[in-house]
């Protein structure tokens, strides 16, 4: 049986949705991020970087990160294109739709903020004064 290690939040939702829609039995295992469970020796064996989501496969092997988990689940449940050209066209199409719709970018993806996308990175009161040049 598959085991999904997750924490409530957007990064774990995609794998949850695919597993629920597939109808296959799986065991959801909540990871207590606030309590530091992701830094325990046991969890670091599942995901060496201590992040969620992670997926333990039927044979006990772990998969870490959505970029590995989602294609695996898609192929396992027949939701992934079998034709290489269709696969790449799907990836390009998804990327274009994401850009077109203006999905908020997070600081991790190079954006400023998912909650305040138009705010400056720092208020003027917190910005450092220009340093004098030391070049001669």
Domain count within the chain: 1
Domain assignment present for 83: no
Domain assignment present for 33: yes
CATH number at residue 38: 3.40.30.10
Does the pLDDT of residue 46 top 90, yes or no? yes
pLDDT at position 66: 85
CB contact at 8 A, 105 and 114? yes
Q: pLDDT per residue over 67-118, tens digit each?
A: 889 889 988 988 877 787 877 777 766 665 555 455 555 555 555 444 444 4
Domain assignment present for 29: yes
pLDDT at position 21: 87
* For residues 11-34, average pLDDT: 90
Strand ranges inside 31-106, DSSP E:
54-56, 62-64
Domain assignment present for 85: no
CB contact at 8 A, 66 and 53? yes
Domain assignment present for 58: yes
pLDDT at position 101: 55
Describe the crossing of helices 66-76 and 10-22 by its angle, rounded to 10 degrees. Answer: 10
Hey, what are 71's tokens?
Answer: 């294609």
pLDDT at position 114: 45
Q: In angstroms, rounded to a whole number, what is the distance separating the alpha carbons of residues 72 and 115?
A: 31
Domain assignment present for 131: no
* For residues 119-127, average pLDDT: 51
Domain assignment present for 99: no
Domain assignment present for 89: no
pLDDT at position 11: 80
Hey, what are 36's tokens?
Answer: 């530091």
Q: Is pLDDT larger for residue 55 or for residue 75?
A: 55
* For residues 44-66, average pLDDT: 93
pLDDT at position 113: 46
In whole numbers, what is the pLDDT of the chain averaged over residues?
77
Domain of 28? 2-76
pLDDT at position 75: 87
* For residues 42-48, average pLDDT: 93
């Amino acid at each position: 049986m598959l085991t999904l290690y997750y924490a409530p939040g957007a990064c774990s939702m995609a794998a949850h949705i695919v597993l629920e829609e597939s109808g296959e039995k799986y065991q959801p295992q909540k990871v207590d991020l606030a309590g530091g469970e992701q830094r325990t020796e046991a969890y670091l064996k599942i995901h060496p970087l201590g992040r969620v989501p992670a997926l333990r496969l039927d044979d006990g092997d772990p998969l870490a990160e959505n970029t590995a988990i989602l294609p695996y689940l898609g192929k396992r449940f027949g939701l992934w294109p079998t034709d290489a050209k269709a696969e790449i066209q799907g990836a390009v199409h998804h990327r274009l739709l994401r850009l077109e719709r203006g999905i908020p970018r997070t600081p991790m993806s190079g954006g400023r903020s998912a909650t305040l996308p138009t705010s400056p990175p720092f208020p003027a009161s917190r910005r450092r004064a220009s340093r004098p040049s030391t070049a001669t």
